[in-house]
Protein backbone atom coordinates (compact mmCIF):
# COMPACT_ATOMS: atom_id res chain seq x y z
CA UNK A 1 0.00 0.00 0.00
CA UNK A 2 2.83 2.43 0.80
CA UNK A 3 4.06 3.87 -2.48
CA UNK A 4 5.98 6.98 -1.53
CA UNK A 5 9.41 7.42 -0.10
CA UNK A 6 10.41 9.78 2.68
CA UNK A 7 11.81 13.13 1.67
CA UNK A 8 15.37 12.32 2.73
CA UNK A 9 17.62 9.69 1.08
CA UNK A 10 19.10 8.71 4.47
CA UNK A 11 15.73 7.20 5.29
CA UNK A 12 15.60 4.93 2.26
CA UNK A 13 16.16 1.73 4.25
CA UNK A 14 13.00 2.28 6.27
CA UNK A 15 11.16 3.34 3.13
CA UNK A 16 12.06 0.05 1.47
CA UNK A 17 10.95 -1.93 4.52
CA UNK A 18 7.64 -0.04 4.70
CA UNK A 19 6.97 -0.40 0.99
CA UNK A 20 7.80 -4.10 0.86
CA UNK A 21 5.78 -5.07 3.94
CA UNK A 22 2.90 -2.60 3.80
CA UNK A 23 0.10 -5.08 3.13
CA UNK A 24 1.29 -7.47 5.84
CA UNK A 25 1.66 -4.58 8.31
CA UNK A 26 -1.82 -3.29 7.43
CA UNK A 27 -3.16 -6.75 8.26
CA UNK A 28 -1.25 -6.71 11.56
CA UNK A 29 -2.56 -3.22 12.30
CA UNK A 30 -6.13 -4.26 11.55
CA UNK A 31 -5.82 -7.27 13.83
CA UNK A 32 -4.26 -5.27 16.67
CA UNK A 33 -6.84 -2.48 16.46
CA UNK A 34 -9.73 -4.91 16.17
CA UNK A 35 -8.51 -7.15 18.99
CA UNK A 36 -9.26 -4.42 21.55
CA UNK A 37 -12.87 -4.29 20.39
CA UNK A 38 -13.29 -8.03 19.82
CA UNK A 39 -12.10 -8.88 23.32
CA UNK A 40 -14.15 -6.17 24.97
CA UNK A 41 -17.30 -6.88 22.98
CA UNK A 42 -17.11 -10.63 23.57
CA UNK A 43 -17.12 -10.06 27.32
CA UNK A 44 -20.37 -8.10 27.06
CA UNK A 45 -22.35 -10.27 24.62
CA UNK A 46 -23.79 -12.56 27.28
CA UNK A 47 -25.23 -9.69 29.35
CA UNK A 48 -26.08 -6.77 27.09
CA UNK A 49 -28.97 -5.65 29.28
CA UNK A 50 -26.76 -5.66 32.35
CA UNK A 51 -24.11 -3.67 30.53
CA UNK A 52 -26.75 -1.22 29.31
CA UNK A 53 -27.98 -0.70 32.88
CA UNK A 54 -24.85 1.36 33.48
CA UNK A 55 -25.48 3.62 30.49
CA UNK A 56 -27.76 6.18 32.19
CA UNK A 57 -24.94 7.06 34.59
CA UNK A 58 -22.90 8.01 31.54
CA UNK A 59 -25.67 10.04 29.94
CA UNK A 60 -26.65 7.31 27.48
CA UNK A 61 -29.90 5.43 26.96
CA UNK A 62 -29.81 1.72 27.97
CA UNK A 63 -31.10 0.57 24.55
CA UNK A 64 -27.89 1.89 23.00
CA UNK A 65 -26.07 -1.12 24.46
CA UNK A 66 -28.03 -3.34 22.05
CA UNK A 67 -26.34 -1.49 19.20
CA UNK A 68 -22.93 -0.86 20.75
CA UNK A 69 -22.11 -4.34 22.03
CA UNK A 70 -22.90 -6.35 18.88
CA UNK A 71 -21.21 -3.69 16.76
CA UNK A 72 -18.13 -3.75 18.97
CA UNK A 73 -17.75 -7.52 18.62
CA UNK A 74 -18.95 -8.17 15.07
CA UNK A 75 -17.46 -4.94 13.74
CA UNK A 76 -14.10 -6.08 15.08
CA UNK A 77 -14.48 -9.42 13.29
CA UNK A 78 -15.26 -7.56 10.04
CA UNK A 79 -12.23 -5.33 10.57
CA UNK A 80 -9.92 -8.33 11.06
CA UNK A 81 -11.21 -9.91 7.86
CA UNK A 82 -11.14 -6.62 5.98
CA UNK A 83 -14.83 -6.64 5.06
CA UNK A 84 -16.46 -3.25 4.36
CA UNK A 85 -13.42 -1.85 6.12
CA UNK A 86 -14.00 1.87 5.64
CA UNK A 87 -17.67 1.62 6.64
CA UNK A 88 -16.76 -0.38 9.74
CA UNK A 89 -14.10 2.18 10.61
CA UNK A 90 -16.64 5.01 10.35
CA UNK A 91 -18.82 3.07 12.78
CA UNK A 92 -15.89 2.60 15.14
CA UNK A 93 -15.02 6.29 15.00
CA UNK A 94 -18.57 7.13 16.11
CA UNK A 95 -18.37 4.36 18.73
CA UNK A 96 -15.07 5.75 20.02
CA UNK A 97 -16.31 9.32 20.21
CA UNK A 98 -19.38 8.28 22.21
CA UNK A 99 -17.41 5.91 24.46
CA UNK A 100 -14.58 8.35 25.04
CA UNK A 101 -16.67 11.34 25.99
CA UNK A 102 -19.32 9.42 27.94
CA UNK A 103 -17.13 6.96 29.83
CA UNK A 104 -13.75 8.64 30.18
CA UNK A 105 -14.54 12.29 30.88
CA UNK A 106 -11.56 12.59 33.20
CA UNK A 107 -12.25 16.26 33.92
CA UNK A 108 -15.35 15.21 35.89
CA UNK A 109 -13.35 13.21 38.45
CA UNK A 110 -12.11 14.84 41.64
CA UNK A 111 -10.35 11.78 43.05
CA UNK A 112 -6.75 12.02 41.82
CA UNK A 113 -6.32 8.28 41.18
CA UNK A 114 -9.63 7.97 39.29
CA UNK A 115 -8.89 11.11 37.32
CA UNK A 116 -5.51 9.71 36.29
CA UNK A 117 -7.06 6.39 35.21
CA UNK A 118 -9.77 8.14 33.18
CA UNK A 119 -7.25 10.57 31.69
CA UNK A 120 -5.18 7.62 30.49
CA UNK A 121 -8.25 5.83 29.08
CA UNK A 122 -9.42 9.02 27.35
CA UNK A 123 -6.12 9.57 25.56
CA UNK A 124 -5.77 5.85 24.77
CA UNK A 125 -9.12 6.11 22.98
CA UNK A 126 -7.95 9.22 21.15
CA UNK A 127 -4.87 7.29 19.97
CA UNK A 128 -7.01 4.35 18.82
CA UNK A 129 -9.19 6.81 16.91
CA UNK A 130 -6.02 8.13 15.25
CA UNK A 131 -5.16 4.60 14.16
CA UNK A 132 -8.66 4.16 12.78
CA UNK A 133 -8.33 7.39 10.79
CA UNK A 134 -5.04 6.23 9.29
CA UNK A 135 -6.57 2.88 8.37
CA UNK A 136 -9.54 4.69 6.85
CA UNK A 137 -7.16 6.57 4.54
CA UNK A 138 -4.87 3.66 3.65
CA UNK A 139 -7.57 1.03 3.29
CA UNK A 140 -7.29 -2.58 4.41
CA UNK A 141 -4.47 -3.69 2.09
CA UNK A 142 -4.18 -6.78 -0.10
CA UNK A 143 -4.80 -9.26 2.71
CA UNK A 144 -8.48 -8.47 3.02
CA UNK A 145 -11.84 -9.56 1.68
CA UNK A 146 -12.33 -6.01 0.37
CA UNK A 147 -9.27 -6.37 -1.84
CA UNK A 148 -10.32 -9.83 -3.01
CA UNK A 149 -13.80 -8.55 -3.92
CA UNK A 150 -12.39 -5.50 -5.73
CA UNK A 151 -10.14 -7.75 -7.86
CA UNK A 152 -13.13 -9.88 -8.92
CA UNK A 153 -14.93 -6.92 -10.52
**For the chain, which residues make up each domain, given as ranges?**
25-152
> 14-18, 70-74, 81-85, 143-147: which range is least confident on average?
14-18
Question: Can you list the alpha helix ranges (DSSP code H) found in the chain?
Answer: 12-45, 48-52, 65-81, 85-103, 112-138, 145-152
The answer on pLDDT for 6 being more than 80 is no
| Distance (Å, whole) CA 122 – CA 99 | 9
Render the burial of 75-87: b for 16+ CB within 10 Å, e for the rest.
bbebbbbbbbbee
Which candidate, 47, 33, 52, 40, places its Cα nearest to that of 102? 52
30-82 pLDDT, tens digit each: 999 999 999 999 999 999 999 999 999 999 999 999 999 999 999 999 999 99
Q: What number of other Cβ atoms are within 10 A of residue 65's Cβ?
A: 21
- Its pTM stands at 0.88
Amino acid sequence: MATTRSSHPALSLTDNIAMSTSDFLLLCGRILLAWVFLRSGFGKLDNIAGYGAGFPGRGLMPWMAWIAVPFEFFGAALLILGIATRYVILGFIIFMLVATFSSHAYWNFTDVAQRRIQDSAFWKNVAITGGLLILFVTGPGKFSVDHWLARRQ
